[in-house]
Amino acid sequence: MPIVESNKVTDSNAATSPTPSAAVLVLEDGRIFRGRSYGAQGTALGEAVFATGMTGYQETITDPSYARQLVVQTAPHIGNTGVNGEDAESRKIWVEGYVVRDAARRPSNWRSERSLDEELVAQGIVGIQGVDTRAITRHLREHKTMRAGIFSGEAANASDKELLDTVLASAPMEGSALAEEVSIDEAYVVDPKDHGWEGEPRFSIAAVDLGIKAMTPVRFAERGVRVHVLPATATLEDVNALNPDGFFMSNGPGDPATADHQVKLLRSVLDEKLPYFGICFGNQILGRALGFGTYKLRYGHRGINQPVMDRRTGKVEITSQNHGFAVDAPLNGATVAPEERYGRVEVSHVSLNDDVVEGLACLDIPAFSVQYHPEAAAGPHDAAYLFDRFIDLMAETKAGGATATKNQNKTEDNK
């Protein structure tokens, strides 16, 4: 019976989607893929990137880190489970455009409230379907991620040359400052008692929203940590006014080389020895605060099956990732950070696919971060221990323990 009901809903809603028009995906190097429109019709300009998750498309498209990107899904069939009211990772869809091979004509899932096509239309997201996403992915792997455009409806009527010129006139991802565009205006609190925690919160943290995913503060709250989520423009005064036990910076879109305000803020926080944990963009900001550079990867890591080694324990975890930039830090053991006042740092996690830095751990101050997504929405939960590691770090710091020394001993033990 539920199946019949859900079909009824989708059938009646399906009438609101426009009949697909011709659509074209134009890459900045002149390569063109022709298909049919998916979702809204018009023009979408951004960086073409591919994501390899077989599931979790609703979480993917609502991850603010995908702002100004055209996401190519390598999974050949997208939309099967529709869209529901629970899985969005933020208030809206952030992908600039969406590229799929076979779009499900009819979603089938007990939680489905409407089709993905309808949701893309409702939110004005321009997509393309019926293109060979494997060929596009191979092209991006060989020639690197690049600017691209999806054109459908009337926009697809222009000549290929005109469409390519439009793509070439669009902004590149390098040098783009987007975190402040996607962040919130007003601070808010995520309370443990709303997420199954009984009793008083154990700790409180200030978390800067650079494009935060909804599950991140929830992972803290479930563990008894009250989270004060602050806008990307937050200052040291805003942080100190909360008298938090720890400081956090989230994932987010754009080039970390542009995040000067956040690097400055993090340096002030580290100078105060407040425990720090960063995810993704927050890892790149820690890298920069310590004096390392960041650089753009050829085609990035986006998906939910990315292998990472925790070099302290030797354990391999399968992780959820979405990053196009990385920290340029030495892989061989502990070194003194270029910003020497922060003491020694080591690359704590590394990608097993390409040796890219996936985590940093400071040995003399209470700070660490990872380049991937332990909140796992969508994705495997292998990395959930990192939230506990941060809680331990706050507990040790509060108790006045020598956190840095302890971290170092852990490293020595595992050699």
CB of 415 to ligand GLN, least distance (A): 30
CB of 372 to ligand GLN, least distance (A): 9
Q: Which of 173, 116, 137 is nearest to 52 (CA)?
A: 137
Asked if 302 touches ligand GLN (CB under 6 A), the answer is: no
Smaller CB distance to ligand GLN: residue 24 or 280? Answer: 280
List binders of ligand GLN among 238-267 (CB under 6 A). 251-254, 256
Asked if 217 touches ligand GLN (CB under 6 A), the answer is: no
Coil, helix or strand at residue 141: helix
Q: Respond yes or no: is residue 375 known to be catalytic.
A: yes
Q: In angstroms, what CA-CA distances link 34 with 18, 67, 97, 131?
A: 18, 24, 15, 6
Pick the catalytic residue: 59, 118, 119, 280? 280
Helix ranges (H only) for 279-374 are 281-289
Q: Which of 376, 274, 259, 230 is nearest to 327 (CA)?
A: 259
Asked if 46 touches ligand GLN (CB under 6 A), the answer is: no
Is the dihedral angle over the CA atoms 116, 118, 119, 124 positive or is it negative?
A: positive
Q: Respond yes or no: is residue 280 known to be catalytic.
A: yes
Please pick, from the candidates 17, 74, 90, 322, the single residue that binds ligand GLN as defined by CB under 6 A.
322
Counting Cα atoms < 13 Å in the Cβ hemisphere of 286 gives 32
Helix ranges (H only) for 144-229 are 160-168, 179-182, 215-221
Opening angle at CA 82, ends 215 and 114, nearest 5: 105
Q: Respond yes or no: is residue 362 known to be catalytic.
A: no
Opening angle at CA 50, ends 167 and 284, nearest 5: 95
Contact characters 276-295, ligand GLN, x per CB under 6 A = ----xx--------------
| 248 labeled part of a ligand binding site | no
Smaller CB distance to ligand GLN: residue 326 or 394? Answer: 326
Contact 269, 262 (CB under 8 A): no
Q: In angstroms, what CA-CA distances link 142 with 106, 120, 298, 306, 370?
A: 34, 30, 9, 19, 27
| 123 labeled part of a ligand binding site | no
| 90 labeled part of a ligand binding site | no
| 281 labeled part of a ligand binding site | yes
Cα–Cα dist 237/210, whole Å: 18
| 50 labeled part of a ligand binding site | no
In sequence order, what are the residues at sequence separation of 6 or more whose Cβ sits closer than 8 angstroms to the Cβ of residue 110?
A: 2, 6
| 252 labeled part of a ligand binding site | yes
List binders of ligand GLN among 325-354 (CB under 6 A). 325
Segment interacting with ligand GLN (CB under 6 A) among 96-104, 137-145, 149-157, 320-328: 320-328
CB of 71 to ligand GLN, least distance (A): 12
Asked if 299 touches ligand GLN (CB under 6 A), the answer is: no
CB of 373 to ligand GLN, least distance (A): 7
Cα–Cα dist 362/410, whole Å: 12
Number of chain positions touching ligand GLN (CB under 6 A): 12
| 246 labeled part of a ligand binding site | no
Asked if 79 touches ligand GLN (CB under 6 A), the answer is: no
List binders of ligand GLN among 129-148 (CB under 6 A). none
In sequence order, what are the residues at sequence separation of 6 or more whose Cβ sits closer than 8 angstroms to the Cβ of residue 284?
A: 256, 259, 294, 323, 325, 326, 327, 371
CB of 55 to ligand GLN, least distance (A): 18
| 325 labeled part of a ligand binding site | yes
CB of 325 to ligand GLN, least distance (A): 4
- 285 alpha-carbon distance from chain centroid: 14
Give me the active site residues, please. Answer: 280, 373, 375
| Binding region for L-glutamine | 65, 252, 254, 281, 284, 322, 324-325
Residues that bind ligand GLN (CB under 6 A): 65, 251-254, 256, 280-281, 322-325
